[in-house]
């Protein structure tokens, strides 16, 4: 049985929760938060969608198998650690590049953020793999 209140609330909450998830991911580089909690919020968003619309509709919304998301996250996190090895430093040594934006400003991008993105994807993929598998077994 589908609840009209739950389905309507889910449609409005999903974009806001995914935005919160991205905020937590990028805020966690220097402050509390990061890939783990951001990934849990994103996975929780899709779990809410699962409660409202069912497993088939949630898998259709995802478009990608959660195991693939997990694999991409693992490769991303591992790739951020390999950058240090390629530069002649120990594994997981942080490296940054600056992309000039003009007028003396620049965007600093580093391997710690890349690692957090990898963790984010692993948490989303692993959590959704478990929860959606359990929901299909009902």
> Per-residue pLDDT for 104 more than 90?
no
The torsion angle over the Cα atoms of residues 17, 38, 127 and 121, rounded to 10 degrees, is: 110
Element (H, E) at 109: strand 105-110
Q: Please tell me the predicted confidence (pLDDT) of residue 101.
A: 84
Q: Are 62 and 68 in contact (CB under 8 A)?
A: no
39-86 pLDDT, tens digit each: 999 999 999 999 999 999 999 999 999 999 999 999 999 999 999 888
Q: Please tell me the predicted confidence (pLDDT) of residue 27.
A: 87
14-39 pLDDT, tens digit each: 999 999 999 999 888 667 778 999 99
Q: In which region does residue 90 sit, left (phi positive, over 0), alpha (psi from -120 to 50) or beta (all else)?
A: beta
Handedness of CA 78, 116, 128, 62 (dihedral sign): negative
């Amino acid at each position: 049985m589908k609840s009209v209140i739950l389905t309507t609330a889910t449609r409005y909450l999903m974009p806001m929760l995914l935005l919160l998830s991205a905020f937590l991911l990028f805020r966690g580089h220097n402050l509390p938060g990061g890939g783990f909690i951001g990934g849990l919020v994103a996975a929780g968003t899709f779990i809410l969608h699962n409660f409202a619309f069912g497993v088939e509709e949630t898998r259709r919304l995802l478009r990608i198998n959660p195991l693939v998301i997990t694999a991409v996250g693992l490769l991303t996190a591992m790739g951020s650690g390999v950058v240090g090895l390629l530069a002649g430093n120990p594994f997981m040594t942080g490296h940054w590049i600056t992309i000039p934006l003009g007028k003396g400003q620049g965007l600093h991008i580093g391997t710690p953020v890349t690692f957090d993105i990898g963790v984010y994807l692993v948490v989303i993929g692993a959590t959704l793999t478990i929860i959606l598998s359990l929901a299909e077994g009902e």
